[in-house]
Amino acid sequence: MSKFKILAKDGNARRGVVNTLHGEINTPAFMPVGTAATVKGIFTDDLIKTGSEILLGNTYHLMLRPTSEVVKELGGLHKFMNWDRPILTDSGGYQVFSLSELRKLTDKGVEFRSHIDGKKIFMSPEDSIQIQMNLNSDIVMVLDECTPFPATYDEAKKSMLLSMDWAKRCKTYFGENKNSLFGIVQGSIFEDLRIDSINKLTDIGFDGYAVGGLAVGEPQEEMFKVLDYVCPALPEDNPHYLMGVGKPEDIIGAVERGIDMFDCVLPTRSGRTGQGFTSNGPINVRNAKYKLSDQPIDPNSNNPVCEKYSLGYIHHLFNAKEMLGGMLLSLHNIYFYQEMMQGIRKSIEDGNLSNFNRDFREKYNSKLD
């Protein structure tokens, strides 16, 4: 049975289902980020109620603490974090290159120092796959070098070719496995490098194809320009995953171009710092004008946070530095993202995506704050 099935299309947008050992993922899908085996401040039972069907776990953080061997000993990541639905783990590459100042990159792999205790660690492509297999993630990502932005053509080419070599090694080590392995397209903003990367990955053969090296500082317009030529070149019969994205309007624009899967820390990170996502645009709940508000965070949502708690109460919690404020706002933001994804999926089924996106953008840009 195929691991991915397209149910409907509207232009380049696809409505599909990804099959995994821990259940189905309806696409386009948004994955909340559970960096250290937890989506910060949210119980897994509450995540299920938001409509979240898949979480992202982080190989780099889990390999350092508590270690993948500990997670394996305790029954794998699903049991460890009390989440019986699909899990995707990233390879750890992005964190190695962004968090570890002291790192040495070679053809064999990457040597770095832990940001926790400074301990020297070496990770090869094979090590990354083994760690993810210890975690028993449903979707495993190949180890790649996240090409920085901006990068020269020669820098981007060298980085891409290294990532393609690592991808081949990852596939060989992964072998015949019931879980899924995704390749990652690199090449910065250079079209010929991106297309070359896609060709090399499809020659190797993966269950899904991710677009990496975006959302790393380039303007939205530049990201969409890359997706305009990358998405049509990706294999039609596999899921397309845009890593680390993103803002609601980024997601909508990427879906229009043919992306199926997304992840981002934005809903929860923003929730912890007082930013709430609403259908009328983001708001800062710390704003003094909300002190006496008996309205919900988003008057157009009936999620449990909006039904039970006023904006004035959330405002008070943040002013009082009560952790419940960040927990409730993070949960609300995940509801907002999942309700948006549900609307996107239905609009693709109905052949109405352009109208949905137009209405969403108009309301979202009304800027209440």
Which pLDDT score, from 0 to 100, does residue 217 have? 85
Q: Do residues 225 and 275 both lie within one domain?
A: no
Which pLDDT score, from 0 to 100, does residue 140 have? 98
Distances (CA, A) of 79 to 36, 40, 83, 97: 14, 17, 6, 29
Q: Which residue has the tokens 């004008």?
A: 289
The amino acid at 32: P
Nearest residue to 191 (alpha-carbon basis) of 158, 220, 156: 156
Distances (CA, A) of 5 to 29, 44, 82, 258, 261: 14, 27, 28, 14, 14
| Radius of gyration for the alpha carbons in the chain, expressed in angstroms and rounded | 20
Where does a domain end: 245, 264, 283? 264
Mean pLDDT confidence for 357-369: 89
Where does a domain end: 212, 232, 264? 264
Which pLDDT score, from 0 to 100, does residue 99 have? 67
Tens digits of residue pLDDT in 148-188 = 889 999 999 999 999 999 999 999 999 999 999 999 999 99
Two tokens at 163? 């990532």
Is residue 154 annotated as part of the catalytic site, yes or no? no
Which pLDDT score, from 0 to 100, does residue 115 have? 86
Mean pLDDT confidence for 264-281: 97
Q: Do residues 225 and 358 both lie within one domain?
A: no
3-state secondary structure of 89: strand
Mean pLDDT confidence for 342-352: 98
Partners of 25 in beta bridges: 18
- 292 within some domain: yes
Is residue 90 annotated as part of the catalytic site, yes or no? yes
Mean pLDDT (the chain) is 96
Q: Do residues 91 and 163 both lie within one domain?
A: yes
List Cβ neighbours of 319 (8 Å cut-off, separation of 6 or more): 286
Reply yes or no on whether the pLDDT at 224 is more than 80. Answer: yes
- 21 within some domain: yes
Where does a domain end: 224, 245, 264? 264
Secondary structure percentages of the chain, helix, strand, coil, to 5: 45, 20, 35
Regarding predicted confidence, which is higher, 313 or 98? 313
How many CB atoms neighbour CB 327 within 10 A?
20
Tens digits of residue pLDDT in 47-81 = 999 999 999 999 999 999 999 999 999 999 999 99
- Could you give the CA distance from residue 80 to residue 281 in angstroms, rounded to a whole number? 36
Percent of the chain surpassing pLDDT 90: 90
Q: Do residues 140 and 217 both lie within one domain?
A: yes
Catalytic residue among 90, 127, 207, 260: 90
Question: Is the distance from CB of 67 to CB of 351 less than 8 angstroms?
Answer: no
In degrees, rounded to 5, the angle at the alpha carbon of residue 216 between the alpha carbons of residues 215 and 218 is: 80
Sorting pLDDT into bands at 50, 70 and 90, what band is 368? Answer: low
- 219 within some domain: yes
Tens digits of residue pLDDT in 308-340 = 999 999 999 999 999 999 999 999 999 999 999
Sorting pLDDT into bands at 50, 70 and 90, what band is 255? Answer: very high
Catalytic residue among 10, 196, 260, 263: 263
In degrees, rounded to 5, the angle at the alpha carbon of residue 162 between the alpha carbons of residues 254 and 118 is: 95
Nearest residue to 159 (alpha-carbon basis) of 149, 171, 169: 149
For 336, the domain range is 271-364
Sorting pLDDT into bands at 50, 70 and 90, what band is 299? Answer: very high
How many CB atoms neighbour CB 219 within 10 A?
8
Reply yes or no on whether the pLDDT at 1 is more than 80. Answer: no
Q: CATH number, domain at 177?
A: 3.20.20.105
Q: Do residues 250 and 339 both lie within one domain?
A: no
- 369 within some domain: no
pTM as predicted: 0.97
